[in-house]
Structure 1
């Protein structure tokens, strides 16, 4: 495990521990965050921990061009139950991702410092959000880091049934339309698997990440 200083540097991802931790420390500057994502690394830590940087051996992903929208979600979209926007209220999305209660989760990794740092990324055009509205109320959404050919999903929230699923599907369709090659969902969880995400090896992920975007 590497201990970072003020130098903008990450060790090779192959140096990560068995659990996937690559480095500790550093900061959450926009420069370091962008270097991290471009290097196949992301931050994940609790409020009472130092900054932990991860590159797991297995990566949860979606190929936008092969993604099949479930019949149930397609029916929901066809019923126009929700209005979906992009980048209309990034700060509200990340704030709700921080505050939403999640089953089996005591605290959140989305600290106030994380909110500040990713909001700066958004202001630079490097982080985007999708919002889901119902009766003019924000009821769901997601945000992530935009690398141009790979989108790194960070978190999502839902206040009503199916809102986050709708946000996820609209993101995937946006990525497909704009010729992104991959949606990075980072770590496995059952909800992502239900949405159609699957795991690939770190080596396979890095090959895709390091390939140039094709038009």
Structure 2
């Protein structure tokens, strides 16, 4: 741990965060501690390139790592083998029809090398509250009426900040991510924040961006106008088989 301590946040949910560039190097990206998960504070955090990440029993921790893991919306890759399997898929992808179920499934999904989940009950309640305000969204993959995969995150302006995804059937999270990226690219949204590195994301085309580059783009994108509220109609029903034609 660096000798410098992270910034302590006060009780006011509208209090500004310290600049993301001042985050610690060790542990990488730790910026602030404390505060709450109110919608206003969460929106201020994401718009500043900051996200909460903490485990049960820890204080609330806020992060902005360097480098940042991102996906270009036109750069999500599916393997040739997986795309071949999608051609015969009967799965359907929708948005914002099962937000609470998606975040609960993400919380319950085991993660390699992790004991438990950072998606605590308080986190789930906070993002459901953001969803009700039209800023948190889920993309869901269905096999008939069964939810087999999904992803959720936060949208501000024309920037999407991914939080977590899950699979209840092989490939479910891949389809959710690829469908999200495909639709965002059609809408002219250039980037999905993926926060921190893991091998699965890298295999699907995620890139390392220096924090300065990431923050510069975020500051531009969050100022752009975009519809708020549920994405269900705007996203529409997408056949997963459509994604077989993507690289």
Is the structural similarity TM-score above 0.5?
Answer: yes
**Any idea what the Cα deviations from partners look like across 1:91-120, whole Å, max 9, x if unmatched?**
000000011122222110000000000001
Q: Which one scores higher on RCO, CA 8 angstroms, separation ≥ 6?
A: 2
Please tell me whether residue 76 in structure 1 is matched to residue 85 in structure 2: yes
Structure 2 gaps, min length 5: 1-5, 227-247
For residue 159 of structure 1, the aligned residue among 149, 161, 168 is 168
For residue 107 of structure 1, the aligned residue among 92, 109, 116 is 116
* Structure 1 residues 130 and 76: alpha-carbon distance in aligned structure 2, compared to 1, 3 A threshold: farther
1:1-215 residue pairs with structure 2 within 5 A?
1-7=6-12, 8-18=15-25, 19-212=28-221, 213=224
Contact 1:73 1:166 in 2 (8 A): no
RMSD of aligned alpha carbons: 1.6
Aligned mates of 2:166, 2:152 — CA distance in 1:
10
Three-state SS of the structure 2 residue aligned to 1:152 is: strand
Contact 1:132 1:167 in 2 (8 A): yes
* Structure 1 residues 10 and 104: alpha-carbon distance in aligned structure 2, compared to 1, 3 A threshold: same
Three-state SS of the structure 1 residue aligned to 2:74 is: helix
Aligned mates of 2:75, 2:174 — CA distance in 1:
17
Contact 1:179 1:214 in 2 (8 A): no
**4+ residue segments displaced more than 2 Å:** 65-78, 212-215
Aligned mates of 1:152, 1:110 — CA distance in 2:
15
Contact 1:148 1:180 in 2 (8 A): no
How many residue pairs get aligned? The number is 215
Aligned mates of 1:101, 1:56 — CA distance in 2:
23
Contact 1:81 1:134 in 2 (8 A): yes
Question: Could you tell me how far 1:143 is from its partner in structure 2?
Answer: 0.2
Aligned mates of 1:69, 1:177 — CA distance in 2:
18
